[in-house]
Amino acid sequence: MEPLDLWTTHLPAHLRAHGPRIEPRDGVGCLMVEDTVVRRFSSLAKAGAQAKTFAQGASDPEGRLRDLDADGVWGEVMYPNLAFFCCFHIRSPELQIATARVYNDWAADLFIGASERFAPAAVIPVLDVAASLAELERVARRGFRAALLPAHIDTRPYNDAAYDPLWTAAQDLGIPLTFHAGTGRSQTPAHGPGGAVINYVVTVGGPMETVAYLCGSGVLARFPGLRVVMVECGSGWLAWVLHAMDDAYREHHMFVRPKLELLPSEYFRRQGAVTFQHDPVGLANIPFTGDRCLLWGSDYPHPEGTWPNSQEVLARQFAGVAAEAMERIVCRNAAELYRFRLPTC
């Protein structure tokens, strides 16, 4: 959880008026970028209160380590809060990358030095690929071991060859690219009755589509060292997407370009992963997905996350899963992918 004034104090002077900031609108505190209201708090006080509520683990490395220890969690890939909600909505490529840099520096200063158990994901906007590339190389030098890209990029989808330099760099640097549900498109496309339920389902459509783009277009085939992770999207849909991609590839072969050496699903099993916190369907579908492309996460410190009861939630939902598969899914897969040096396993 970033300080509310992070960007108004750290962006280059000429960008500060347009970057992320909390402003009152009709007496309500709003997170704004450029002229867009990204999020409304019920009151200005609540914006401050939210920052405070999360403060213990969200912006205090010592408190966070204590919380992880209490929950039996060794390490974690961490995602931004304000930057998550606003960065990819920014239309100006210059402001977008500058906003990401400020976040990345804050996260590196606060967390990377504090413990190797923290692997914050660097925010990497993709409107200007040359700038994305420069920022990815910069954050690698600063010690980041993960990067966050928008799950959607409607103006230039991920099957565009313009991204090739970025895939090359991520592969060469050994930095997994993560695509978080709810990024790059509206998080609340549905309004009115049932909105909360509908939007939860709809926003996961983002990572599902991203899997199809990266596998079907040949990106993973052409960059065999590239690792990609769909984040906080559950895992229960993965078996179906893998099957559907292969079905389309075989049954619509007359329309399929490019032809691939392997089936689309095989690239994902080799180079992809999805994260979940509580998803019995995904675990039941291990016979279809294998256990290498599943990563458990607690979603700490969110109220819908499993903290501080992660061990109970894990014991319950892994009851029917082989011990070796469980150890992979809750520990080894993530450790290998994000280079966590574990004390034991």
11 vs 153 by CB, closer to a copy of itself: 153
- The contact mask relative to a copy of itself for 193-232 (x = CB under 8 A, - = no) is xxxxxxxxxx-xx--xx-xxx-xxxx--------------
Minimum Å gap between C-beta 173 and a copy of itself is 24
Minimum Å gap between C-beta 222 and a copy of itself is 10
Judged by CB under 8 A, which of 119, 166, 245, 283 binds a copy of itself?
245
Separation between Cα atoms, residue 153 and residue 91, nearest integer Å = 12
Separation between Cα atoms, residue 48 and residue 44, nearest integer Å = 7
Minimum Å gap between C-beta 313 and a copy of itself is 12
- The contact mask relative to a copy of itself for 159-178 (x = CB under 8 A, - = no) is xx------------------
119 vs 293 by CB, closer to a copy of itself: 293
Q: Which of 313, 288, 303, 159 is nearest to 236 (CA)?
A: 288
188 vs 311 by CB, closer to a copy of itself: 188
Cβ atoms of 229 and 177 within 8 Å: the answer is: yes
252 scored as a contact of a copy of itself (CB under 8 A): yes
What are the phi and psi torsion angles at 133 (to 5°)?
-60, -45
Tokens of 4: 């509310």
Minimum Å gap between C-beta 112 and a copy of itself is 31
State the number of binding residues for a copy of itself (CB under 8 A): 56
Tokens of 231: 């984040």
Minimum Å gap between C-beta 298 and a copy of itself is 13
Judged by CB under 8 A, which of 144, 237, 300, 318 binds a copy of itself?
237
104 vs 235 by CB, closer to a copy of itself: 235
With 0-12 / 13-18 / 19 or more C-beta atoms within 10 angstroms meaning exposed / middle / buried, residue 199 is: middle
Q: How many CB atoms lie within 10 A of CB 215?
A: 28
Minimum Å gap between C-beta 264 and a copy of itself is 6
223 vs 237 by CB, closer to a copy of itself: 237
Cβ atoms of 10 and 102 within 8 Å: the answer is: yes
Tokens of 56: 């213990």
140 vs 229 by CB, closer to a copy of itself: 229
Q: Which residues contact 94 (CB under 8 A, 6 or more apart)?
A: 15, 128
Separation between Cα atoms, residue 163 and residue 295, nearest integer Å = 26
- The contact mask relative to a copy of itself for 109-148 (x = CB under 8 A, - = no) is ----------------------------------------
141 vs 191 by CB, closer to a copy of itself: 191
54 vs 74 by CB, closer to a copy of itself: 54
Residues that bind a copy of itself in the complex, under the rule CB under 8 A:
157, 159-160, 190, 192-202, 204-205, 208-209, 211-213, 215-218, 234, 236-237, 239-241, 243-245, 247-249, 251-252, 255-258, 264, 278-282, 284-285, 287-288, 303-304
